[in-house]
A and B are shown apart, each in its own frame.
Chain A
């Protein structure tokens, strides 16, 4: 059966179309979810796309976090639903306390957009299972508030529990602490990533096809789970 992956549109989202396209290219059905609708329409996983939900008023993700769709997503994520937050989606996941820490203004105050090398450091999440440990991938980064911060205790905890999913290599585009580009929750089903895997899924428009790996990973994860359930 074709997996159904929801992509939420908030007011101001701008990468929801790309995320839905990436989902389709990976072989799943993309289900468009609306921020004001608390019904998740039975999707098998959810992507919170990048963009500027509510124009980043107040703080990035602060207002989006209280949308009806997020209420349902927070409950479902706590129950194990795979959720991927990309860029602004990562910020929303932090504001929703599904992931620790916060994203702040880039240290140099400049908006950064460029193709960025990352090192995958955890392949035990729902979204990174098809990568190999230490694999280097190239996907675009584009953010003004992508500097990941958390207190030292939280950072140490993330490192000790293997919850740093990816790190920037060959340059840190925003000053993120310990070069962190992506993290996961304790259960491994919720991942926040600042660069944009959905922009690296086609040779025509991206620097690589490395981004497809995240979407392929969640499909493999879901297939493994359904196979494990006795018929």
Chain B
């Protein structure tokens, strides 16, 4: 089995209201040196055999991320114990 992790993040130019709300809450924890918070999504795909990264890229581009507003990165090579 192979595990592939896809990280989806809003593109830098797209406003992230959720991240901004968190950033605005940090001073309440006396955290004053964080200048930006961006919140994304981590998606783990487990394949029964080897993972075809080109297919993962296609899945991410078509369904997992909306390329109009989001970027994604793919991390492969995590072995899963069956």
Contacts and interface: CB of A to CB of B under 8 A. Distances in A.
Interface of A: 58-59, 62-63, 66, 94-95, 100-102, 104-109, 149-151, 175
B41 to A, nearest CB: 8
What's the dominant secondary structure at chain A's contact region?
loop
Given A66-B63, A107-B17, A151-B13, 19 more contacts: A59-B66, A63-B63, A94-B68, A95-B66, A102-B66, A102-B69, A104-B10, A104-B14, A104-B15, A104-B69, A105-B17, A106-B17, A108-B17, A109-B18, A109-B21, A149-B14, A149-B15, A149-B69, A175-B15
A106 B18 CA distance: 10
A94 B66 CA distance: 10
B64 interface: yes
20 contacts: A58-B63, A62-B63, A62-B66, A94-B68, A100-B68, A101-B68, A102-B66, A102-B69, A104-B10, A104-B69, A105-B17, A105-B18, A106-B17, A107-B15, A109-B18, A149-B14, A149-B15, A149-B69, A151-B13, A175-B17
A109 B17 contact: yes
Contacts of A106: 17
Contacts of A175: 15, 17
Contacts of B13: 151
A150 B66 contact: no
Interface of B: 10, 13-15, 17-18, 21, 63-64, 66, 68-69
User: Which are the 6 A-B pairs with shortest beta-carbon distances?
Assistant: A102-B69, A102-B68, A109-B17, A105-B17, A107-B17, A102-B66
B69 A58 contact: no
B24 to A, nearest CB: 11
Contacts of A105: 17-18
A65 B18 CA distance: 25
Contacts of B10: 104
Nearest to A65: B63
B71 to A, nearest CB: 13
A105 B10 CA distance: 11
Contacts of A102: 66, 68-69
B37 to A, nearest CB: 13
A175 B18 CA distance: 14
